[in-house]
Structure 1
């Protein structure tokens, strides 16, 4: 078995090639001349052939050494790239982040958060895959993504989650008489055509209970899974909707206005990740940045 080559031996070899003497190579590497001689001797022994001939007081690479030179340069360049990548990862300026989320998030709040995050990390790349909640959970269990953003998460032993309760508001077309009120209750919109989430969703059940408690019934007009879809429908004058303030804020000034909804009900958003997959520093830092971006819309705890 051949002795293991070391990067320092290759650096010494290249330094002698470039400078022609052990003394100048030592000055370049900031080590002693005997240390350079030892590195070249060890490399010669490891390779099994002479590396230099002495001509007119200079060390000239042998024919065998010249054949070796391109590989040495490539190897040292690769080591430099590995070192630089390692520094970038440590400093959170490089890496790849895989995110899956609800379709509405992919076209509303999330792109802005990603843009701000990447602006400070030019070496980081992102995969963003929107899909329904069931698919997000499946990908988390299969450890196919670093982070998932979903709602209605009921828990899973292979998934770690952080729940953030987002305030809800009632959205309506700009110019509607509803804009004269500072707060909207079920009785205030009982006569309006309501656009709401699917009846089997936990959010719809909470909304239904709020209407019942106020002594009125929901006047269903359109069911839509995504809050962003509800925003588009309201923008076209098709009715009103009770949705997450996070989504409503994206549409303010675009044909939509909104007011706080009472009683206060939460849109339960969950940040999920595989429990058995060690998160990268980039993943943890993005979770922190995304959570911070939700703070302005989160319901007060307690």
Structure 2
């Protein structure tokens, strides 16, 4: 078949074959009858054989045309599917979103945001890949993921980012005496076993400085990388911890209580994406919704 064949010509062939009439085909296609005749005539000239015979006032495809019709109809169905897919993408109802995130987010907060996002977009699929901040940065720089949720991000020329300051709270098991307090301070934690983030993290350094400023010695018992791990240990009575309020809320109905911690030690959470990769509408919409979901936890 000649590469010069036009989709409209093939559409006219299939429509005339279905209705057996130029007039009815023209009505179906929304064009004039002479326009359909011209399309069929041009197509016949391109392929080099007659496309229709007239029998008892009806146009009937020739043997050669009948040979072409199954492929033409399949092609038209594919074009219709492509049009539907394009419309779904345009209206942000289809596509694939790749999210890199901190391990804790894969099991707290993020699942609810993703569930709400997908509820209105049945054609969208998502990949969630949790890992440490260093790895997330590598993925975003390499444009392997559409967006990322990380901490400790200090900027990179290949990454666009927005940092959100999330409130920190002191978490303790249900029934602990701290439930009677409005605010927890380093002095309150002087005799408590402390579960803390890794010592090389900015958050641990800020917490350590807060204790030092009040002349209080920390009593560390377990060092963890993730706030969710701290929550699991607190629930089991291993000790107390100061963590992001986002993670604390996720455990509020699982045996854990929390109160604001003073002085304010906001956890710096960064939303990142590749700066040189044009973001899809789905990516931008998800990042907006995720950012909005953080506002209730944002440090004033």
**Could you state the TM-score of these two structures normalised by the residue count of structure 1?**
0.97
Q: 1:256-271 to 2 correspondence within 5 Å?
A: 256-271=256-271
1:191 to partner: Cα distance: 0.7
Q: Deviations over 1:238-294 (max 9, x none)?
A: 100000000000011211100000000110000011110000000000000000000
Gaps of 5+ in 1: none
> Structure 1 runs of 4+ off > 4 angstroms?
none
Aligned to 1:178: 178
Aligned to 1:153: 153
Residue 82 of structure 2 corresponds to residue 74 of structure 1: no
Q: 1:1-302 to 2 correspondence within 5 Å?
A: 2=2, 4-300=4-300
SS in 1 for 2:192: coil
SS in 1 for 2:294: helix
1:97 to partner: Cα distance: 0.3
Cα distance in 2 for residues equivalent to 1:187 and 1:293: 33
The two structures, once aligned, show a CA RMSD in angstroms of 1.1
Cα distance in 1 for residues equivalent to 2:37 and 2:161: 58
Contact 1:196 1:204 in 2 (8 A): yes
Q: Deviations over 1:200-245 (max 9, x none)?
A: 1111000000111111011110000000000000000110000000
SS in 2 for 1:27: helix
SS in 1 for 2:167: strand
Cα distance in 1 for residues equivalent to 2:3 and 2:230: 69
Cα distance in 1 for residues equivalent to 2:137 and 2:35: 58
1:6 to partner: Cα distance: 2.0
1:4 to partner: Cα distance: 2.0
**Could you state the TM-score of these two structures normalised by the residue count of structure 2?**
0.98
Gaps of 5+ in 2: none
For this pair of structures, how many residues does the alignment match? 300
Contact 1:3 1:46 in 2 (8 A): no
